[in-house]
Structure 1
């Protein structure tokens, strides 16, 4: 009898956990071949070749104008990079990382006696707050709403090219 009760409790627990919402989605649509960001317009596009699959309003670094040059400058990088990592346990819901800094970024910062910085991501909202109340609040990243980040996380693969324009 105890064994049967234990089996029922486990089955009930598994059944309820299957109904719990998850931040991990699946995507079966066209491949995202590139990400295009226009900082001035605060827009990001997921592209399949020359076709827009999705578009998002974005927030940027707290100093949104200009290319990121140094650690702590609050700027979002400009140029062409690649998505090179993902963080399912991000402090910002979910995140996918850009391979900033590249060799040129590091060399320029070093020529100025500074560090280029790093850890630039596309990410969701902070886990510690329910809502961000100001625009361009990141330290140089690209931010979207959590539900949008869930789609981006599912759609974008490591190796995807991201081009960020001023």
Structure 2
């Protein structure tokens, strides 16, 4: 009888482990892809787009970010490296800009590369920004989505996820 309970307990434990594992991979996003020209951000699992968002960008969106204050959103491969639950823009997750290449380029040009480029929600206290749904740009170089979408985004995308940003 004792061995029967052990076997049942082990079987139950295996079921829970495999079940939790399946749930985790069900929502694992492998890549975030941003198409600046289309004002769209795609969440990709495997080779499949599982969700997309309309976005707003920096006020000067075309081209790669070169320096602080240029109001551009960087282009290239980056990683999402930090969640900020106390953001001035609802909630946010940081893009690891500048990387080493960006820093060297800015230094060569004699500029600060800037930083603190985020994917974030709406400015706290201002309510929804109507520009997001109309494709208008208003950030200083960040990528903005509405607050409800930001909650969903952070439930699906984890720190360490790569992000490809292109025009």
Mapped partners of 1:66, 1:79: distance in 2: 11
Counterparts of residues 6-155 of structure 1 (less than 5 Å): 29-134=26-131, 135-155=136-156
Q: What is the number of equivalent residue pairs in this alignment?
A: 140
Deviation at 1:53, TM superposition (A): 1.2
Note the alpha carbon deviations across 1:70-95, whole angstroms, 9 max, x for none.
00000000000000000011111111
Mapped partners of 2:78, 2:149: distance in 1: 21
Deviation at 1:133, TM superposition (A): 4.3
Q: Which runs of 5+ in 2 are unaligned?
A: 1-22
Deviation at 1:30, TM superposition (A): 2.5
Judged with a 3 Å threshold, the aligned counterparts in structure 2 of structure 1 residues 43 and 95 are, in CA distance, closer, same or farther, namely same
Deviation at 1:128, TM superposition (A): 2.7
Mapped partners of 1:102, 1:59: distance in 2: 23
Deviation at 1:41, TM superposition (A): 0.2
Q: Which runs of 4+ in 1 moved over 4 A?
A: none
TM (norm. structure 1) is 0.81
Deviation at 1:49, TM superposition (A): 1.6
| SS of alignment partner, residue 149 of structure 2 | helix
Q: Which runs of 5+ in 1 are unaligned?
A: 1-26
Mapped partners of 2:67, 2:130: distance in 1: 26
Mapped partners of 2:109, 2:48: distance in 1: 40
Deviation at 1:154, TM superposition (A): 1.1
The RMSD of aligned alpha carbons is 1.2
